[in-house]
């Protein structure tokens, strides 16, 4: 891999590598996992015993955990998984059963919000997944699927190569034929999940390198273009840049320097790979003096805000990573912090707002998007029942676990459609794709948009109909 498709850095060919091909951290085991009967965790950042001990097994997490809601299985709840972590710390081996329960976790962090004891399950599951990826030998099928995912999704250029074939597939009627046949979910559930998630595509505009502020400059901000967002939702990035400029921000994008932020890798335990992506992004904006670094994808934002922790062991990057993370803001946070400057035109539309898990639970950003939507004249905001339950997207969870993800998506679709709103709004590309697929399965009819697209339409004085065209594909 070269150029932008390379996460940067090099390793000697003889360096120990994990089962997915990445070098293991210094002191970690070679590929293939520990010896049979060995302890579950090695000494490289195992789940912290003091964080495990914080859990008093009170059960407040249970009704907010998607997998516990689905199955009612104790080991598929946060406190059950923490019990398994405790067993691993005490020397139990990393069994297939133990890994299965860890893998079933969506990482939605709803339990973190619900926990009265302040248990940092987010840190615990992240540490555990790094151990699993280094020390557990997955099945050949699982290894092949994960290798394919991580050879494609974190690389914007490779994703863009899929646009042409995907547009042809959607435009020739072949997709409708495949859907009507009903064979794909039975024969290849992973492919069926990918097919249902694929959004309708239009020719993407090329992102500019910089966008000047309109009027007096109030801030100078960097902007993440993302991977899936850049390849499949370029309109969201364009809307984000226009909003920031209209609100007095000079926007630094540098699309030719940007790559993946490392979020997918972090959330799936691929620590070394995530670190390489993080270093590259930090280097891309190293010479820019920024007030904020703005993100419009919830999963990416939660990872960027944790760069200081991700690179804490790197003497060259630890301080720089912490400083970079301190400037990261979700788009809604920046706009609320700055306050409105540009005029909001009326948008007579009813909106149901869906909390993306990594925005609401991982970042604690709930009020700001709602404040922005309520600030648009004529817009009516409606709440969705059970907002703490994940829609089932969860990064690549809906690809690795299409069955449970579809169940959660169908549940979310029912609560969304029950609002009677014209438009579903959220702040994460994965959620947009997941809910669109679920609404289509339910035979519902609702338009979908990113928060940035709604605010952009108001600032430009666009008609509400321009938003209502983005309906879930049937």
Last residue of one domain, picked from the residues 137, 162, 182: 137
Average pLDDT along the chain: 87
CATH number where 124 lies: 1.10.1060.10
| pLDDT in the model for residue 228 | 86
Is 301 a residue whose pLDDT tops 80?
Answer: yes
Beta strands in 306-373 (DSSP E): 328-330, 350-353
Q: Give the pLDDT score at 31.
A: 39
Residue 2 placed within a domain: no
4 located within any domain = no
Please indicate, yes or no, if residue 20 is contained in any of the structural domains. Answer: no
Task: Express each pLDDT in 12-65 by its tens digit.
Answer: 333 444 333 444 443 333 334 444 467 999 999 999 999 999 999 999 999 999
Residue 6, pLDDT > 90, answer no
Instruction: For 402-445, write each residue's pLDDT tens digit.
Output: 999 999 999 999 999 999 999 999 999 899 989 998 998 899 98
Which of 106-120, 177-191, 241-255, 310-324 is least confident?
Answer: 177-191
Domain termination residue (choose one: 336, 368, 390): 336
Q: How confident is the model at residue 400, as a pLDDT?
A: 92
Question: Which domain, by its residues, includes 106?
Answer: 46-137
- Burial code (b: 16+ CB inside 10 Å, e: under 16) for 374-408 equals eebeebebbebeeebbbbbbbbbbbbbbbebbbbb
What's the CA gap between 131 and 40, in Å, rounded? 8
| Angle, alpha carbons 131-124-356 (nearest 5°) | 110
How many distinct structural domains can be found in the chain? 4
Cα angle: 222, vertex 223, 224; to 5 degrees: 130
Final residue in a domain of this structure, among 292, 314, 336 = 336
Q: Are 82 and 360 in contact (CB under 8 A)?
A: no
Look at strands 210-211 and 249-252 and give their pairing: antiparallel
The model's confidence at residue 158, banded by pLDDT at 50, 70 and 90, is confident
pLDDT digits (tens, 9 = 90+) for 208-232: 999 999 999 999 999 999 998 888 8
Cα–Cα distances in angstroms (integers) from residue 3 to residues 60, 199, 225, 255, in the given order? 48, 27, 17, 13
């Amino acid at each position: 891999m070269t150029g932008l498709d390379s996460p940067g850095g090099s390793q000697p060919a003889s360096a120990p590598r994990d089962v997915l091909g990445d070098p293991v951290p210094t002191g970690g085991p070679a590929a293939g996992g520990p010896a049979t009967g060995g302890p579950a965790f090695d000494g490289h950042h195992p789940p912290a015993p003091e964080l495990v001990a914080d859990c008093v097994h009170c059960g407040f997490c249970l009704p907010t955990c998607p997998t516990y809601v689905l199955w009612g299985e104790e080991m598929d709840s946060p406190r059950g998984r923490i019990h398994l972590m405790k067993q691993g710390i005490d020397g139990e081996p990393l069994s297939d059963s133990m890994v299965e329960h860890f893998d079933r976790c969506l990482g939605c962090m709803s339990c973190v919000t619900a926990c009265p004891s302040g248990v940092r399950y987010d840190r615990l599951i992240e540490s555990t997944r790094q151990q699993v990826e280094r020390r557990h030998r997955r099945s050949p099928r699982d290894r092949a699927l994960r290798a394919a995912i991580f050879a494609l999704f974190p690389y914007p250029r490779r994703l863009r190569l899929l646009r042409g074939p995907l547009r042809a597939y959607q435009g020739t009627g072949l997709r409708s034929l495949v859907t009507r046949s009903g064979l794909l979910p039975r024969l290849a559930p992973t492919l069926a999940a990918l097919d249902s998630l694929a959004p309708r595509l239009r020719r993407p505009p090329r992102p500019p390198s910089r966008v000047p502020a309109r009027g007096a400059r109030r801030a100078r901000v960097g902007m993440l273009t993302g991977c899936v967002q850049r390849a499949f939702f370029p309109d969201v990035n364009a809307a984000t840049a226009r909003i920031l400029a209209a609100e007095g921000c000079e926007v630094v994008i540098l699309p030719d320097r940007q790559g993946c932020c490392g979020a997918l890798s972090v959330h799936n335990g691929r620590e070394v790979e995530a670190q390489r992506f993080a270093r590259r992004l930090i280097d891309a904006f190293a010479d820019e003096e920024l007030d904020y670094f703005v993100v419009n994808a919830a999963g990416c934002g939660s990872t960027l805000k944790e760069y200081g922790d991700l690179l804490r062991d790197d003497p060259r990057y630890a301080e720089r990573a912490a400083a970079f993370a301190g400037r990261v803001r979700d788009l809604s946070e920046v706009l609320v912090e700055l306050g409105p400057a540009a005029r909001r035109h009326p948008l007579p539309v009813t909106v149901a707002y869906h909390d993306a898990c990594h925005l609401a639970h991982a970042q604690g950003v709930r009020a700001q998007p709602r404040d922005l939507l309520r600030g648009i004249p004529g817009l009516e905001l409606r709440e969705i029942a059970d907002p703490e339950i994940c829609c089932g997207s969860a990064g690549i969870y809906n690809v690795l676990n299409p069955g449970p993800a579809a169940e959660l998506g169908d549940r979310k679709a029912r609560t969304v459609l029950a609002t009677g709103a014209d438009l579903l709004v959220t702040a994460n590309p994965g959620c947009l794709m997941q809910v669109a697929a679920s609404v289509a399965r339910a035979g519902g009819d609702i338009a979908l948009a990113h928060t940035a697209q709604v605010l952009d339409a108001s600032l430009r004085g666009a008609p509400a109909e321009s938003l209502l065209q983005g309906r879930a594909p049937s």
